[in-house]
Structure 1
Amino acid sequence: MIKVIGAGLPRTGTTSTKAALERLGFGPCYHMFEVMAHPEYAEHWLPAGSGSPMDWERTFEGYQSCVDWPASYFWRELAETYPEAKVVLTVRDPAGWYASFHALMANGPGRTFQEHAHDASHRVLAAMERMRPLLHKIGQSVFGVEWHFGEGAPDERQAIAAYHRHIATVRKSLPPERLLVFDVRQGWGPLCAFLGVDPPVDEPFPHLNDAESLRRSITTLLTEGRMPAPFDAGR
Structure 2
Amino acid sequence: MGQNPSVPRPGARFQVIGAGLSRTGTASFSAALETILDGPVYHGGTQITMGPPIEIKSWVRILQYWLDDKGADRLTTMKLIRHRLDGFTAVTDAPCSQLFEELMEMYPNAKVICTTRDPVSWEESMSQIHHMALLWFLRGVLLPLPGMRHFVHYISLLKKQWVKIYGTTNPNRTIYEQHIAWLKEVVPEDRLMFFDVKDGWEPLCKALDKEVPKDKPFPRINDGAAIDQIARYHIRRGLTRWSAICAMIGVTVALELQIFFNIFYK
> Which category of TM-score, normalised to the shorter sequence, fits these structures?
0.7 to 0.9
Match for residue 214 of structure 1?
A: 227
Q: Percentage identity across aligned positions?
A: 31
Match for residue 7 of structure 1?
A: 19
Q: Computing the radius of gyration over CA atoms, which structure comes out larger, 1 or 2?
A: 2
1:128 aligns with 2:128: no
Correspondent of 1:18 among 27, 30, 34: 30
Structure 2 CA distance for aligned equivalents of residues 58 and 216 of structure 1: 29
- Calculate the aligned-residue CA RMSD, in Å: 2.3
Query: Could you give the per-residue CA deviations for residues 96-137 of structure 1, whole angstroms, max 9, x where no partner exists?
Result: 111111122234x55583413595xx1232232442443122
Secondary structure of 2:17's aligned partner: strand
1:144 aligns with 2:156: no
1:48 aligns with 2:63: yes
Structure 2 CA distance for aligned equivalents of residues 68 and 210 of structure 1: 11
Correspondent of 1:71 among 74, 96, 110: 96
Secondary structure of 1:89's aligned partner: strand
Cα distance change of structure 1 residues 208 and 115 upon mapping to structure 2, 3 Å threshold? same
1:168 aligns with 2:191: no
Q: Which amino acid aligns with 1:189?
A: E
Shift of residue 64 of structure 1? 1.4
Structure 1 CA distance for aligned equivalents of residues 58 and 38 of structure 2: 22
Secondary structure of 1:95's aligned partner: helix
Number of residues of Structure 1 aligned to a counterpart in Structure 2: 213
1:106 aligns with 2:123: no
> TM-score if structure 2 supplies the norm length?
0.73
Shift of residue 33 of structure 1? 1.5
Q: Is the 8 A contact 1:42 1:130 kept in 2?
A: no
Match for residue 113 of structure 2?
A: 88
Larger mean Cα displacement after TM superposition, 126-135 or 21-30 = 126-135
Structure 1 runs not aligned, ≥5 long: 148-153, 226-235
Match for residue 255 of structure 2?
A: none
Structure 2 CA distance for aligned equivalents of residues 79 and 66 of structure 1: 12
Structure 2 runs not aligned, ≥5 long: 1-12, 239-266
Match for residue 122 of structure 2?
A: 97
Secondary structure of 1:115's aligned partner: helix
